[in-house]
Structure formats: structure tokens, C-alpha cells
Structure 1
Amino acid sequence: MTYHEKHLTRSASALLAAGQHLRRKDASGTDDIFERLSAKFGEHAGEVLRKLTEADEKMAGFAARILDMEQRAARADFYGGSGSGHPETWGEQFTRHTGLKAFSEETTRPGRFRLEVKTTLTNDPASGGSLGAPTRDATAIIPRRRMQVRDLLPVVSVSSNAVEYAAQTNRTNNAAPVAEGALKPESGFAFELRTLPTQVVAHWIPASRQVLEDVPQLRDIIDGELRYGLAYVEEGQLLYGDGSGSNLDGLVPNSTAFAAPFTISNATLIDTVGLAILQNALADFPADGIVMHPSDWMRIRLLKDVDGKYILGDPQAVITPALFGLPVVATQAMAVDKFLVGNFQVAATLYDRWAARVEVSTEHSDFFVRNLVAILAEERIGLAVKQPLALTYGDFGNVA
């Protein structure tokens, strides 16, 4: 039943109800009125219902045509064509254009017909591709080595360009049991005052002021890279600095050569490290750390027993680099096949005059007038190796 049929039915029901109410209230004069109203309503109800039904059908057809037109227009907008489901070629646009028909019917010549054809947008830079904004991901940075040698040493901050410390150079111990009333023996000690200059480690790069302001994250990258460069050189200097010129006097050049306290037949890498630890202990400097190249640590990690089992644990186990309870620092700053065992907390002290810092300035050449800046990173440090016997440096050589 349509909306209008329902409406007429409700109206008829309301009219009958009203007539019945009047009939009950005043039956004397309402019968005739009720009958005439009913007849009149029935005479026109059918005609009204027919016309309303026809109007409903016309509205439904009109709505369907509107929907079809909207869908065609949407397809045409999307494809840039006539709504046929694919983009029109230039030839299709030309032959379907209404202006072509008008031009062909012209009887006078010469004439000219011009058509502006539409092209399909693509990712080509000459089309819509130039409007796209690429996604910017995080910058890929070259791998950085983890620096760990500094962590083995005591670090002291200083406020001068040189450090002085007293070092004992001799001990004469004449202590002995003494009889009552006898002269007691005299012992002696010798010290010397040593002066250690601090050295500067530095480097810099030029950059334009514009790029630093336009790309803020670039400043962070430069800062990190410059600081990493300082730490990289520092680690090499701590181990192998030869003390000449502005070089540090490193741990290895001041260490004691490894000499096995006793011989082990078919000694392994682990045996060799154990003997070096013993050498330190016999020198009264119990070791607190081991430094070696990552390749040598992996050689140790891959050692197996006679049953083919890994000595330091299964491959899937997470093993903290350590031997005989001492931490192993695996760094590429140490030469391959070499090791350094030591009591690092006693052996040497690292002095920080300037902690690593990064500064920017235009005070270089003609940088000010060229809108350039010099970005400088530097640190000022000193290394004093105070106890050479606390450091044992050796060679794995052909040890398995």
C-alpha cells in the first residue's frame, strides 16, 4: 500500500468514526448528513487515489533518471572523459565534440574548427606527478662504533691546561724483626713530580647558515657526527697513542709485555687470557678488565669441548662478554690477535679539561660575508699511565 492509500484509508476511518459519534450524540438529524458525506467521499475517493498513484509513478521515474545522470557525471569527472568507464583518447574527444558537427554543416569555406583536448593525469613529472609530496623517512646514518675503553678508566675533570701528580719511583723496604733495645732499620722511598699536558682533539666542517635554519634536524646530525668523530679518535689514542707531538701516551705503549707464568700444552685462547690475568695478579695488580678485537672474542665464543659443545654456552644463549669473571671489551680499536689485560682503575687516569663540545662561528676567512659558518667539535684530554705493571699486553699468535 502506498503512502497516499494509507492516508486516504486513515481519512475515511476518521470520517466514519466522526459520523458514528454524531449519530450516537444526536441521532435525529445526523443520519441524513452522514449518508450524504459518505456518498460524496466515495464518489471522489477513487479518482483522487488514481491521480495520486500516477504522481507517485512519475516521481519514481524522475528520481531514477536523476540518479543515472549523477552516476554518469561522477564517472566522467573521475576518468576525464564522457563517463564511459575509461579516459577518452584525443580522437574520441574530437569525433564526439558538438563543434565538429556544426563545422561539417557549414557551407562556406574556408573555416576553422579548434578543440582543446583533455589529457589524463599521471605520475609523470610533466603531468600530475610534480604535485605529489614524497614521504620523508628518517636519515640513514653510517654505523657508529660503540666506544667502551673510556668506561674502564677513572675520569677526572680538571680546570687547567696541565696536570701534576706524584709518582713513586723506588721503595727500599728494610723492615725486620728487632730485638729489644736494638737499632731499628731505616727504609726509604723515592717520588717524583710528573707534569702531564692536556691535548686537543678537534675537527670542523663548513655549512651555510640557510641550510641550518631550513633543515633543523641537520644540526642534530652534524652535532652527533662530529662528537662521534672525537670519540672514535679518542679510543684509538687511549690504546695506541705514542706520546709524540700532540698524541696521548697510550695504554699499550706503556704496558708490560705478556710472559706466561707457566706453560700449558695445547693452550687455547682462553688459557692465554687466564695466564695474563695471573701475571697481573702476581704483580699485585689484580685485573678488572680485558680488551680484545671482536674477531678474537668470537674465536673464543666458538670454542668447543671434545663432545662438540660450545664451552661458553649454546649459540641461542645470550652471553655477556666475560672471562674468569672479568668484563671483555670487544673493540675494533684493538689490533686483531692482540689482547690487553689490566687493572685499569689503578693503571691510568683520564683527565677531562674540555668535555666534547660543538660550537658554531662565522669567524673564519670570509665566512661572514658568504653566509657560511664553521661548525667545530673539540675536546681537551690528558692520559696518565701511572702503573705500567697493572697492564699486560700480549699476542694470541697461533693459539687455537
Structure 2
Amino acid sequence: MDYKELNDTLRSVSNDLTRVSDDLTRKAEAAMKEAKDSGELSSKTKAEVDKLITDQTAAAGKVDDITARLEDLEKKSVRRGPEANEKRTVGAQFIGHEKLKGVNASSIQANQQISVPVTNALLSASVAEGVVEPQRLPGIDQMPKQRLFIRDLISTGRTTSPAIFWVQQAGFANNAAVVPEGTKKPESTITFDTKITPVVTIAHLFKASKQIMDDFAQLQSTVDAELRYGLAYAEEQEILFGAGGASNIEGIVPQATEYAPAFAPTARTPIDDIRLAILQSQIARLPATGIVLHHMDWAKIELTKDADGRYILANPQSLIGPTMWGLPVVATEVPEFEGNFLTGAFASAAQFFVREEANVVVATTNTDDFEKNMITIRCEERGALAVKRPEAFVYGEFGTAVAP
């Protein structure tokens, strides 16, 4: 027999030995129980145990014999020369070939080529599938995520109603003045307006195989995290640019006051525009508490230098968070923001009311999920945004002309 046949025979005999050993173990346990119950073993049981012991000894002997023959073949294969018809690497066959005996660098003529035939070389195609496994990197490489921020800037509340209703002071005409004795006092007026904003639902779902979710625990947590992030990202878009109505949040930007700079400083820059917008909020008696810019615009502002090449705002070695004019700056990747900015009293002028926190629910009875062993994963939340003082927010474009 050759090496492969012996190896296959060894595998078969080893399986037989394992089977006989298992049978002997079971029969020995049964014999012990029989001896305990009746006080002695029957002749039939003794004969069966003796036969299994004999079979086990024979199988073990075959294993030892075949193992020795395999070891002998391996030793012989080590002593074989290049002429043996065995699988060797291309490099090994090249170096050991007859044509290269006695050849050195000085004996090789210019442009001389030495051709060495390669026979039965060990190539990748010769290796059975699964012998060399690909390297498995740990974890799951996830998609990059935008940094969320709006819910961190504005106040948060809770509600148990399908809508938020509040009374807003719309105006105040202050006519207070010094009044001479015996004259009529001046009259001031205060106007109010009622506001209502509906609770909306933000949701999406995901289909998955029950088997893959059961077998890959990390995939389940990843799907949960991705669904929650997708929900938060959609919420960000709604809070900023929601169109309003019965099924949408009315966002901050559509309600914000248009940027109208009070004056134009000399050599006006985007930094000046931000300060003028802060002034506009201050004049409305609602001081700004934050600034929102596009990543591109914020990078341009941070890279602004003075005549000596020193950064005006940024310090590359500083660990302090981004700020400008004493207010925190939040950069966003929303395309509509490039070239524009938003300032406002986020903490006092707007509030997000949570009706139902973001939650992930798994179901197996959606359409034909039960028949196909599929699951439906749904992530949703309910909430409402109340922009109580729209004039507290100023949204505009850099370089806006001063109103005449």
C-alpha cells in the first residue's frame, strides 16, 4: 500500500476500535448491573464480554501495525532523492536538479538560461479545500456614523398625550412711563397665541434569518445598534429641517428667524457673521447658547490666520472642545448647512418631548415569517418638538448683505 491507502486504512481501523471500545464499555456496565442484581454473570454475558475484549485487542494491534508502517514510509520518504515521484515545492525541485550540480555564479555565461522541468510540484491547487483556512478578523467592520448633537443641545421632556399644546406670548408693547399726578396712566398690551404640535412616529424595520441571529450573537447586537443609530439620524434631520404637518416634525430651521446683520464690519469674515447673528439673538432678548456649522465651514474658520501666520481661533495642541465667541460649536455633515449657520438659545427656546423612547421589537408572525423561519426587527420612537421661541434661532448664509 502507498501512504494514502495506509492512512485511509488507519482511519477505518481507528473507527472500528472506537466502536468496539464503546460497545465494551456499555456491555461492562450491563454486566456489573447483572452481577449486582442476580449475584453472578450468565454464560452468555461472559461470552459477549470476552469477544469484545478480543475484538478490541485485535483492532488495537492493527492500529499499532499500520502506524508503524506509516512511520516507516515517512522515514523512507525523507531519504529519497530528487528523482522520487513525490510532491515537492518548485524551489526544492529547482535547487536539487542534476542541471544545477556544480553550477556557480562564475560558470554562468551572459544571458544563459537554465531550464529545469518541474514535476508533480506542491501547488495551492493541490491542497484540499478547508486545509488552509482564511484568517478571521474579530468583530464586525461597521459603517462610519455622524456625530449626533441636537438632542444634547435642546431640553428634553416627557409626555403621555398625542400632541403638545402650549400658550405662547406673541408680543408685548411696553408703554410704561413717568405719569404726572392726576393724569391717565399709559396702557401696555400683551398678546398671546396658542400653539400645538403633534407627536410623530419615526420608525424602520429589518428582516433577518432566525438561524443567523441565533448563531451569531454579535450580529444581533450590531443590528440593534445600527437600527437605533438610523432612527437617531432620521430624528436629527427632522429636528433640523422637518416640514411640519400631521406626520412630520416642524424643524428648527424652517421656523428660525432669517439672518439680518445689523451692520457690516471692516473686512468682514465668517467669524464676524457668527458674532452678528449672536447679536441678533441678544436683541430679541434670547441669548444664543450654541452654534451649528457645516464641517467644511468650521474647518475654514479654524484655519484662519493673522498677518503673522498664527491661528486666530484654533490651537492645534489644545484639548478644549470647539468654541467661538464663548459658545460651543457643533459641526454637522448635513449638506444643506454648507455655507450657512444656525445660532440660537437651544436650551430655553426649544424642547423635545418623548412619548415613547426608542425601542427595538422582534416578531416572528409578520406575513410569512413563521413559515420561512425569518424574523422582523422593528425600531421606532414617538416624540414631538416644540419650538417655543422661533425668534431665538437665527439661520442664514455667510456674507448676507446688511439690510438698508
TM-score, normalised to structure 1, is 0.68
The whole-number CA distance in structure 2 between the counterparts of 1:144 and 1:251 is: 23
Q: Hey, what does 2:207 align to over in structure 1?
A: 206
SS in 1 for 2:371: coil
Question: Structure 2: which amino acid aligns with 1:387?
Answer: R
Q: Hey, what does 1:312 align to over in structure 2?
A: 313
The whole-number CA distance in structure 2 between the counterparts of 1:397 and 1:316 is: 30
Q: Which protein shows a greater Rg?
A: 1
Tell me by how many angstroms 1:316 deviates. 4.0
- Are residues 314 and 151 of structure 1, via their aligned partners in 2, closer, same or farther at CA, if it must alter by over 3 Å? closer
SS in 2 for 1:352: strand
- Are residues 128 and 78 of structure 1, via their aligned partners in 2, closer, same or farther at CA, if it must alter by over 3 Å? farther
The whole-number CA distance in structure 2 between the counterparts of 1:361 and 1:308 is: 61
Contact 2:359 2:380 in 1 (8 A): yes
Q: Hey, what does 2:341 align to over in structure 1?
A: 339
Of residues 171-180 and 227-236 in structure 1, the stretch that sits farther from structure 2 once superposed is 171-180
SS in 1 for 2:255: coil
Tell me by how many angstroms 1:282 deviates. 1.2
Contact 1:337 1:397 in 2 (8 A): no
Question: Structure 1: which amino acid aligns with 2:177?
Answer: A
Runs of at least 5 residues in structure 1 that lack an aligned partner in the other structure: 1-72, 94-118
SS in 1 for 2:381: strand
Of residues 226-235 and 308-317 in structure 1, the stretch that sits farther from structure 2 once superposed is 308-317
Tell me by how many angstroms 1:87 deviates. 9.6
Question: Structure 2: which amino acid aligns with 1:142?
Answer: M
Q: Hey, what does 1:12 align to over in structure 2?
A: none
The whole-number CA distance in structure 2 between the counterparts of 1:78 and 1:184 is: 120
1:379 pairs, out of 359, 381, 396, with: 381
Contact 1:169 1:191 in 2 (8 A): yes
The whole-number CA distance in structure 2 between the counterparts of 1:347 and 1:364 is: 42
- Are residues 91 and 350 of structure 1, via their aligned partners in 2, closer, same or farther at CA, if it must alter by over 3 Å? closer
SS in 2 for 1:369: helix
Tell me by how many angstroms 1:371 deviates. 1.1
Q: Hey, what does 1:219 align to over in structure 2?
A: 220
Contact 2:303 2:314 in 1 (8 A): no
Deviations 1:351-386 (A, max 9, x none): 111111111012321112211111001111111111
SS in 2 for 1:305: coil
Q: Hey, what does 2:16 align to over in structure 1?
A: none
1:84 pairs, out of 79, 88, 99, with: 79
TM-score, normalised to structure 2, is 0.67
Contact 2:139 2:218 in 1 (8 A): no
Instruction: After TM superposition, list the pairs within 5 Å mapping 1:311-330 onto structure 2.
Output: 311-318=312-319, 320-330=321-331
The whole-number CA distance in structure 1 between the counterparts of 2:183 and 2:163 is: 48
Question: Structure 2: which amino acid aligns with 1:194?
Answer: K
- Are residues 325 and 79 of structure 1, via their aligned partners in 2, closer, same or farther at CA, if it must alter by over 3 Å? farther
Contact 2:239 2:249 in 1 (8 A): yes
Runs of at least 5 residues in structure 2 that lack an aligned partner in the other structure: 1-67, 89-119
Q: Aligned residues, how many?
A: 301
Contact 2:87 2:122 in 1 (8 A): no
Q: Hey, what does 1:362 align to over in structure 2?
A: 364
Tell me by how many angstroms 1:92 deviates. 9.9
Mapped pair 1:228 → 2:229? yes
